[in-house]
């Protein structure tokens, strides 16, 4: 999978509306690494270092974040149909971006608002779920509360779209909600890197505990796991990944639902291998989809549309082929 990731990244440098020959790409990369004098066109260097590299990094980080958080939530809630937006992070982030666009915030303001509202939605879900679910069905209560919070923030987003100017603000909100990385920059990567690392590193260190939590509440406690504290840490980390990814890319669905199942088919249900496999598979998938989005047609297709067109039929295929055995 790591070799496939490297291959996908290399192909991403070459293809696009501005095609770069392989010899020229290798020459530029070699020249930059060795500090050689510039003998290539400045436009090609700009495309590689100002457009392609930030976009490839964003593809990798967003895809890996959504797939890893999806796999984490599926293990935490013991439900194969769970996706990263189960606790309302995506819906909250969508509303945050919509309200920021309505108020004419700049791109950084839109991303910050999206991130804050995504975290706020999950905090609200967890607080309400903790108040209601003080019994053995705490997980079920948390999931149901997440559905309610997601619906509420989706309604807020619809109200925002209804109030938006139909000439400028409404198209901007709609396009953002469809997801895409066409305007990503090096600054966005630097901003995304902090919550990405804060979320992914603890999950990788605690991934063996996800195996224990998947046994059930009583079994995990009998094995010495502080389930309440561990669940809080895992939810916070997965939410950081989801909210930060959505704040940069917009709403990109199906990655967090389908990719963990593909990884599970490849390496099995053990989270020691499943989480790294989901990380790599998510990055590979979004890099490939983004290549199609920016190269297949004369205009760029929003990523959310493509991931839905690919993810939904493929997930149906998995259901038909594997039935219950892969769940």
| CA separation for the pair 128, 260 (Å, rounded) | 28
Cβ atoms within 10 A of the Cβ of 46, count? 12
pLDDT of residue 200: 96
H-state helical runs in 85-137: 89-102, 107-132
Q: What is the mean pLDDT of residues 24-39?
A: 84
Question: Predicted confidence band at 40 (pLDDT cuts at 50, 70, 90)?
Answer: confident
pTM of the model: 0.91
166 Cβ partners below 8 Å, 6+ apart?
none
| CA separation for the pair 310, 290 (Å, rounded) | 12
Confidence check: pLDDT of 325 > 60: no
Q: What is the mean pLDDT of residues 171-179?
A: 90
Q: For residue range 250-301, what is the model confidence (pLDDT) as tens digits? A: 989 889 999 999 999 899 989 999 999 999 999 999 999 999 998 888 888 8
| CA separation for the pair 248, 115 (Å, rounded) | 9
CB 121, CB 153: distance < 8 Å: yes
**How far, CA to CA in Å, does 320 sit from each of 60, 70, 261, 307, 324?**
29, 21, 14, 20, 9
CB 43, CB 14: distance < 8 Å: no
| CA separation for the pair 167, 185 (Å, rounded) | 26
Question: Predicted confidence band at 133 (pLDDT cuts at 50, 70, 90)?
Answer: low
- pLDDT > 90: what percent of the chain? 51
pLDDT of residue 37: 81
| CA separation for the pair 62, 64 (Å, rounded) | 5
């Amino acid at each position: 999978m790591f070799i496939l990731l490297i291959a996908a990244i290399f192909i991403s440098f070459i293809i696009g509306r501005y095609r770069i020959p392989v010899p020229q790409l290798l020459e530029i990369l070699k020249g930059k690494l060795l500090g050689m004098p510039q003998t290539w066109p400045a436009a090609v260097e700009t495309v590689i270092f100002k457009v392609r590299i930030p976009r490839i990094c964003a593809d990798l980080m967003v895809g890996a974040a959504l797939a890893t958080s999806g796999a984490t939530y599926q293990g935490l809630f013991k439900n194969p149909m769970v996706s990263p937006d189960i606790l309302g992070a995506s819906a909250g982030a969508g509303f945050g971006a919509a309200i920021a666009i309505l108020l004419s915030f700049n791109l950084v303001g839109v991303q910050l608002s999206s991130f804050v509202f995504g975290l706020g939605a999950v905090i609200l879900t967890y607080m309400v779920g903790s108040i209601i679910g003080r019994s053995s069905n705490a997980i079920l209560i948390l999931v149901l509360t997440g559905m309610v919070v997601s619906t509420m923030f989706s309604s807020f987003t619809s109200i925002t779209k209804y109030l938006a100017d139909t000439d400028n603000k409404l198209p901007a909100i709609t396009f953002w909600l469809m997801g895409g990385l066409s305007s990503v920059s090096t600054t966005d990567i630097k901003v995304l890197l902090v919550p990405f690392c804060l979320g992914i590193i603890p999950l990788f260190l605690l991934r063996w505990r996800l195996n224990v939590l998947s046994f059930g509440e009583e079994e995990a406690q009998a094995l010495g796991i502080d389930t309440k504290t561990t669940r809080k840490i895992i939810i916070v980390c997965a939410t950081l990944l989801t909210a930060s990814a959505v704040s940069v890319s917009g709403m990109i669905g199906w990655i967090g639902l389908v990719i963990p199942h593909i990884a599970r088919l490849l390496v099995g249900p053990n989270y020691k291998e499943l989480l790294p496999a989901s990380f790599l598979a998510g990055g590979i998938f979004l890099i490939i989809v983004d290549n199609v989005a920016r190269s297949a047609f004369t205009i760029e297709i929003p990523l959310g549309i493509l991931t839905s067109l690919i993810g939904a039929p493929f997930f149906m295929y998995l259901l038909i082929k594997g039935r219950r055995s892969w769940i």
